[in-house]
């Protein structure tokens, strides 16, 4: 829900996160998307930067170990899948 403040709508962070995702997937320019959604381009740009920097400064990521398949070789491998979908693979 949005609360009105001096003619402006105050939106929660989760709502801005949704707008940023929608805009990035839309293929539209910032101005075009904001015009259709009734948003101020400067506000969406500011929230995009704020959300990106808060995601980049996360200190810890939970790692849950899984069961490794049994192999007869002495080599090893490790795959780490991050919350943003990126994968890191290590082999030795």
User: Cβ(21)–Cβ(37) under 8 Å?
Assistant: no
Evaluate whether residue 69 is within a structural domain: no
Q: How many domains does the chain have?
A: 1
| Element spanning 17, H or E | helix 13-26
Evaluate whether residue 73 is within a structural domain: no
For the whole model, what pTM was predicted? 0.52
Evaluate whether residue 68 is within a structural domain: no
Evaluate whether residue 20 is within a structural domain: yes
Evaluate whether residue 78 is within a structural domain: no
Evaluate whether residue 75 is within a structural domain: no
* Residue 9: burial class (beta carbons within 10 Å; 0-12, 13-18, 19+): middle
Evaluate whether residue 43 is within a structural domain: yes
Question: For 36-82, what is each residue's pLDDT tens digit?
Answer: 999 999 999 999 988 887 766 566 777 777 776 666 666 778 888 88
Say how far apart CA 84 and CA 52 lie, in whole Å: 11
Cα separation values, 37 from 1, 18, 64, 80, 90, Å: 15, 12, 39, 37, 44
Containing structural domain, residue 26: 3-56
Chain centroid to CA 24: how far? Answer: 11
> Is pLDDT of 23 > 80?
yes
Cα separation values, 49 from 1, 74, 81, Å: 22, 46, 24
């Amino acid at each position: 829900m949005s609360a009105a403040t001096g003619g402006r709508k105050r939106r929660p962070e989760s709502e801005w996160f949704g707008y940023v995702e929608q805009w990035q997937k839309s293929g539209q320019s910032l101005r075009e998307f904001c015009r259709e959604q009734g948003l101020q381009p400067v506000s969406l740009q500011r929230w995009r930067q704020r959300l990106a920097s808060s995601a980049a400064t996360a200190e810890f990521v939970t790692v849950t170990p899984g069961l490794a398949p049994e192999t007869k070789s002495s080599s090893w491998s490790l795959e780490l899948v991050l919350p943003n979908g990126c994968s890191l693979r290590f082999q030795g």
